[in-house]
Amino acid sequence: MHVHEKPNSGTKLGAALVSVLVNIFLIALKVVAGVLTGSIGILAEATHSLLDLVASLLAYLGIRWAERPADETHAFGHEKFENMSSWVQMLLLGGPMTSRMSWRRRSRIRSRR
């Protein structure tokens, strides 16, 4: 372990990389299965997995950036990048779900009038 390296940084980075690779594999598998079977449902699931891949890539990049040592502009290091990437992932994955729930709730309230 290097002097500036955090104790779990390699473990977190490795797990994030595995997540990226597994998502790429799953997308490829779903696309092949969807094309071979002609299933729109499987192809839609492959598209949904793209969102998971983007989230995995954000996690990987956030961890990589957070590992950078302190410099002139970041006296306490870059660890906040990991938190910011988590926040973006939450918006990416939670935003569509929250807006859909809000839309459905709004539709139900209007239909009761």
End-to-end CA distance of the chain: 65
Residue 21 has pLDDT above 60, yes or no: yes
Q: Is the model's pLDDT at 108 over the cut of 60?
A: yes
User: Would you say residue 100 has pLDDT above 60?
Assistant: yes
Binned at pLDDT 50, 70 and 90, residue 17 comes out as very high
Query: What is the reported pLDDT for 13?
Result: 87
| Distance between CA atoms of residues 59 and 66, nearest Å | 10
DSSP 8-class letter at 69: P
Q: What is the pTM of this model?
A: 0.66
Q: For residues 105 and 97, is the Cβ–Cβ distance under 8 A?
A: no
Whether 79 and 66 have beta carbons less than 8 Å apart is answered as yes
pLDDT in tens, 28-79: 999 999 999 999 999 999 998 998 899 899 889 888 887 777 777 765 666 7
Residues in the chain: 113
